[in-house]
Amino acid sequence: MPHRCLFLFIILSVPLFAQTPDSVTVTGRIRNLSARLYRESPTVLVSRNNILQAGREFIRPAPLNADGTFRVTMPLVYAQEEMYFNYGRISTPFLAAPGTLTIDLNADSLFTASVPFRFGGVNAQVNQQFARFKAFEAISPQKTDVEELPEKVQNLDDQNAFKVAASTYQTPFLLFTRQEKPFPLLTRWVMSAGNYNAASFLYDKASYESKAIVKVLNDSLRPPNDRLLTAARASAMNRFAEYVVQQQPTTTSGNTNLSVRTLSGLLLRYGRNLTPDERSRLETFQEKNTAIANDLRFFTTIIRRNDDSLQRIINYESLIQRAGSGFGSASAEYVAAYWLAAALPGLTLNFAQLLYDHARRQLTDPALTLSLDELYRLEVKDSTRIRAAVQTTQKANGTANALEISPGVFINQNPVADGRTLFDRVVDANRGKVVYVLLTSAETEAGRQAALDAQRIREQYGPRNVALVYLTLITTDTRPWVEFSAKHNLAGDHLLLNVAQISDVMAYLRPTDDVSATIINRVGKVGRRNAPLPDAPEELRKVLEKNL
């Protein structure tokens, strides 16, 4: 199972949208709860999926009461949703539906019973039987050998490859049904997960081979009107969207499949500083829906004159049209929502709202709308604090020396100084500490994740021993990085450098990748160029401790 990021739900006192999801209340009790066990694990965690981002589990904690009872309410977007119960080292999936669901455990048999969970309430029998199935699967000598799948499907067409993959994933459950008759909902749950796992395999295979999957499999890979959400489904749909995007040609200002009417409408709505003549021409194009080859320069000039937001909206509309023609409107709608959800973490608040407002009004699937709403709320939940950080930065007029824009987040910037001078100033201010310098960016997923992961260094070694310096290129606007660092409380020193300045520093650090790290020792000398990144903690620990 891929690594999953964990996010706590933020409960908003005022609903942002008229559409609200159903919910399930999860209650239960851990009987015979000892004081030692309570101190080790005072909280139960319940988590769920979002179909637009399989890499996230959305968690709500439920503190244990003195008698071992707990209670938490989870939103439901789909009629049936696979959720996850975690207590210490004990965990289990369960199927949730609107209503109340109970989970009871006995502390005396947590680590000895093959099925330590007792379910009640909605889906009680199905969840209890699923727990027995997982216990059976754990001791079954016949395991699901996914690693052999590529060899099994070699030279098979798409339809037969899908059948073989689905059969491989579903075999453990079919063996279980020989000893116990399953409830229909359990069969639907487990077999559906097997089919979606097979779909993920097929999408990965097609992406790797740069081939298109035959359309006759569309309903098998993406069953229409499916009201059951599992982790396997979220993962398969994510892979489908990535596969679709890979199949589409790159859209530029001079290369778009949009009609003249659609493109003109977008330019009229989102184009900035349009002259009366330009607006009149666009209105004519929109009305007639025709243009000649010489008009292409006119459209291109307006697009290039605007910021990245207009090009992204054009890309979004182009993706919808191409996906719709190749996979149908429902699949195109999912791809569009997925694309926006994936883009949100790298957008400024203003841009995120612009693109979200544009996209949301076009969604017709209530489940996708609610799923996108959930992700958008997470991205903008600290907007007041983030905007305050931006204002603090703007008031400095481009010159800042250890300016604190958020607790522990210090900005350093000077447009007239050379980059090496700025870099040395920050290193000298941390003399006596080991300095971990991370060259990164808020514009890529790899850069954002590395920046987030680097915070573990401060947590592990403390700010008195290790200083964290973020080195980021600012081309035209500081806002994307300032918002990102304030939003995630990226404690440390942040060097905001222009192209010339970062060239000075890179000539000294000599990085080999866009995301790179350097370790400066306690006396200010380079201890290790191209040091391990934060996602290699054991290698990084060895290098850091050698310099401490």
What does the pLDDT average to over 434-458? 93
The neighbour count for residue 491, using CB atoms within 10 Å, is 18
505, two tokens: 């520093």
Q: What is the mean pLDDT of the chain?
A: 90
pLDDT tens per residue across span 466-490: 999 999 977 778 899 999 999 999 9
Helix (H, G, I), strand (E, B) or coil at 169: helix
Cβ atoms of residues 136 and 61 within 8 Å? no
Does 371 score more than 80 pLDDT?
Answer: yes
Does 56 score more than 60 pLDDT?
Answer: yes
Cβ atoms of residues 49 and 81 within 8 Å? yes
What does the pLDDT average to over 240-246? 90
Cβ atoms of residues 548 and 434 within 8 Å? yes
Half-sphere exposure of 272 (CA within 13 A, CB side): 8
What does the pLDDT average to over 400-419? 94
215-220 long-range contacts, CB within 8 A, separation 24+:
215/327, 216/159, 217/158, 217/159, 217/162, 218/327, 218/328, 218/331, 220/162, 220/195
Taking the C-alpha atoms of residue 459 and residue 468, their distance in angstroms, rounded to an integer, is: 11
Does 196 score more than 80 pLDDT?
Answer: yes
Residue 1, pLDDT score? 39
Q: Quick one: which of 90, 111, 88, 94 has its CA closest to 48?
A: 94
- Count Cβ neighbours within 10 Å for each residue of 74-100 and write b for 16 or more, e otherwise: bbbbbebbbbbbbbeeeebbbbbbeee
Residue 307, pLDDT score? 65
Taking the C-alpha atoms of residue 98 and residue 23, their distance in angstroms, rounded to an integer, is: 5
Specify the pairing of strand 492-497 against strand 466-473: parallel
Taking the C-alpha atoms of residue 368 and residue 361, their distance in angstroms, rounded to an integer, is: 12
pTM assigned to the model:
0.85
Reported as a pLDDT band with limits 50, 70 and 90, residue 311 is confident
What does the pLDDT average to over 288-302? 87
- How big is the chain, counted in residues? 548
What does the pLDDT average to over 34-57? 93
pLDDT tens per residue across span 95-146: 999 999 999 999 988 888 889 999 999 999 999 999 999 999 998 887 777 8
Residue 18, pLDDT score? 44
What does the pLDDT average to over 397-419? 93
Does 167 score more than 70 pLDDT?
Answer: yes
Helix (H, G, I), strand (E, B) or coil at 377: helix
Reported as type and span, the H/E element at residue 477 is none
Distance of CA 477 to the CA centre of its chain: 24
Q: Quick one: which of 300, 338, 303 has its CA closest to 319?
A: 338
Does 3 score more than 70 pLDDT?
Answer: no
Taking the C-alpha atoms of residue 173 and residue 181, their distance in angstroms, rounded to an integer, is: 11
Taking the C-alpha atoms of residue 268 and residue 278, their distance in angstroms, rounded to an integer, is: 9
Taking the C-alpha atoms of residue 142 and residue 133, their distance in angstroms, rounded to an integer, is: 14
Between 88-97, 279-288, 369-378, 468-477, the lowest mean confidence (pLDDT) is in: 468-477
Does 15 score more than 50 pLDDT?
Answer: no
Does 250 score more than 70 pLDDT?
Answer: no
Reported as a pLDDT band with limits 50, 70 and 90, residue 491 is very high
How does DSSP assign 199-257, residue by residue?
HHHHHHHHHHHT-PPPGGGHHHHS-TT--EE-HHHHHHHHHHHHHHHHHSPPPBTTB--
Taking the C-alpha atoms of residue 148 and residue 184, their distance in angstroms, rounded to an integer, is: 30
Question: Looking up tokens 């909206």, which residue turns up?
Answer: 313
Domains of the chain: 23-139 (2.60.40.1120), 148-247 (no CATH), 260-382 (no CATH), 385-547 (3.40.30.10)
